[in-house]
Amino acid sequence: MRYLELAQLYQKLEKTTMKLIKTRLVADFLKKVPDDHLEFIPYLILGDVFPEWDERELGVGEKLLIKAVAMATGVDAKEIENSVKDTGDLGESIALAVKKRKQRSFFSQPLTIKRVYQTLVKVAETTGEGSQEKKMKYLANLFMDAEPIEAKYIARTVLGTMRTGVAEGLLRDAIALAFHVKVELVERAYMLTSDFGFVAKVAKLEGNEGLARVTIQIGKPIKPMLAQQAANIKEALLEMGGEAEFEIKYDGARVQVHKDGDRIIVYSRRLENVTRAIPEIVEAIKEAVKPEKAIVEGELVAIGENGRPLPFQYVLRRFRRKHNIEEMMKKIPLELNLFDVLYVDGASMIDTKFIDRRKKLEEIVEPNGKIKIAENLITKKVEEAEAFYKKALEMGHEGLMAKRLDAVYEPGNRGKKWLKIKPTMENLDLVIIGAEWGEGRRAHLLGSFILGAYDPETGEFLEVGKVGSGFTDEDLVEFTKMLKPLIIKEEGKRVWVEPKIVIEVTYQEIQKSPKYRSGFALRFPRYVALRDDKGPEDADTIERIAQLYELQERMKGKV
């Protein structure tokens, strides 16, 4: 299949903002795709090459990409760079360079999707000494044979800036539409495997029955079950039907551990493979988790010198570290508190009641210095749970989780089977959708940031406010560096950026607002942390803000 067809799809997607039209376009395209392409085409449609949990990365920045284009076209790298000022988009500039290409090689062949994909895989798998040069040559080879429009979208794929507005929800709907299968079944299969390539293939070849048979697999991360916030212990107990398991809510980073014999993979909250960053935990898991094959979940916590938990940012620092990991192990010791088990020796446990999963967890895990089982209390009594809550806070933890004893595990769902109880209103994780240049001494830095909440229905990020406080000078330098390449549009002092970066903010209150399309505005938002453990689609949704608004009103009522 020609890559040109995919490039034309991208172009059509870019031209419309209508979700239904986009879904139809993607569905029609999927119908035409040969079976053996289905495993990877959904990722290309999303603007990626691999699923988020795949460790491989292209490792190609703008400079190298421009060099590759220059090599393929004979157009000077400086000229390509300069033309970005006119086009406002490197993809466009690269398309222009390809248009100017002096001549095509005699052996020039039209690009196929497979060739582009396989080349990108090769680029990602080329590492070590001299790899930059090799990556560049592979890419140059593609650009030599590319039409201008193809070059534009290859460039965007390489840089991860596709801008076609196709998010997971849309792809899910398109798969259902293309292969006449139920959306709920596509969703379910995706929540269980996090693999759209696999899901698309099953949808096409095995239909609804095949999708219904899909179950979790070791090595493919499962979307985590999530919680809502309760106003207090009493409300939580009531919601749980009078009795619940309360557990300490550790303030760290959630991980999902897949054990297959000696092979351990650890996935982060956003399902990135973080195994390499935490070797001591990997070793400790091998000892502590008894079954040959298992999937368990827990909260990874950084421990301070006094034995008390450190804020979750410390764990994220461990995740980010690629070198001198040994040194980091000493600086930031970790502890894993396991709280769930999803798979044991060949059998999925997600349809097992929570209470039985917890029993299983206690059976299969032999705690050691680094691996523990989350401290719990099963009770019907408000006072008992409140005492436990108090103790958890005194120990420096975030609060408690309440879990419904008879609840099955619901991948990817933020329902009421799990509730969190903590003393403060929930911080929000929002996406930066725009920013404003600072004043005076800070005129070269972006100084305040427009926050968007995710709307899973349309894939849009709707404005809920602007945050300018809580940043250090270093933070602003860092954010300016991160956001500059994501700028889509400039309007005076204001820029609009690709919605990629998630930050956590506190705020004094959520207010109803007619000013914003989202319907809500944050009063006095303040920056807390960069959440690079979350992707834009993991950010808080409009619906969640509406729920928090209700919760806030209930909490106020109590005071």
Ligand X SMILES: Nc1ncnc2c1ncn2[C@@H]1O[C@H](COP(=O)(O)OP(=O)(O)OP(=O)(O)O)[C@@H](O)[C@H]1O
Is there a catalytic annotation at residue 493? no
Q: Does 299 bind ligand X (CB under 6 A)?
A: yes
Q: How far is the CB of 301 from ligand X (least distance, A)?
A: 8
Pair 457, 169: CB distance under 8 Å: yes
Torsion of CA 30, 36, 42, 45, to 10 degrees: -70
The 313-342 site mask, x for binding ligand X (CB under 6 A), equals: --------------------------x---
Q: Does 374 bind ligand X (CB under 6 A)?
A: yes
The SS3 assignment for 437 reads strand
Angle between helices 148-159 and 3-15 (to 10 degrees): 80
Residue 254, annotated as binding a ligand: yes
Q: Which is closer to ligand X, CB of 10 or CB of 250?
A: 250
Residue 269, annotated as binding a ligand: yes
> Hey, which residues between 211 and 230 contact ligand X (CB under 6 A)?
224, 226-227
Q: How far is the CB of 360 from ligand X (least distance, A)?
A: 16
Q: How far is the CB of 187 from ligand X (least distance, A)?
A: 18
Residue 239, annotated as binding a ligand: no
> Hey, which residues between 397 and 416 contact ligand X (CB under 6 A)?
401
Indicate which residue of 135, 249, 372, 403 is catalytic: 249
| Binds ligand X (CB under 6 A): choice among 48, 89, 145, 247 | 247
Cα 361 to Cα 344: distance, rounded to the nearest angstrom = 10
Instruction: Report the 3 state secondary structure along 460-529.
Output: EEEEEEEECECCCHHHHHHHHHHHHHHEEEEECCEEEECCCCEEEEECCEEEECCCCCCCEEEECCEEEE
Q: Which is closer to ligand X, CB of 114 or CB of 414?
A: 414
Contacts 24+ apart (CB under 8 A), 83-90: 88/488, 88/489, 90/62, 90/65, 90/66, 90/155, 90/159
Q: Which is closer to ligand X, CB of 95 or CB of 401?
A: 401
Residue 299, annotated as binding a ligand: yes
Q: Does 269 bind ligand X (CB under 6 A)?
A: yes
Going through 324-427 in order, the beta strands assigned E by DSSP cover 334-344, 347-348, 371-373, 376-379, 399-403, 414-421
Q: How far is the CB of 339 from ligand X (least distance, A)?
A: 4
Residue 339, annotated as binding a ligand: yes
| Binds ligand X (CB under 6 A): choice among 24, 188, 234, 420 | 420
Pair 22, 170: CB distance under 8 Å: yes
- Exposure pattern of 484-511 as b/e (b: 16+ CB <10 Å)? eebbeeeeeeebebbbbbbbbbbbeebe
Q: Does 486 bind ligand X (CB under 6 A)?
A: no
Q: Which is closer to ligand X, CB of 40 or CB of 388?
A: 388
Cα 335 to Cα 315: distance, rounded to the nearest angstrom = 10
Q: How far is the CB of 513 from ligand X (least distance, A)?
A: 23
Please report, as ranges, the residues that interact with ligand X according to CB under 6 A: 224, 226-227, 247-250, 254, 269, 299, 339, 374, 401, 420
Which positions are annotated as active-site residues? 249
Binding-site residues for ATP sit at 247, 254, 269, 299, 339, 414, 420
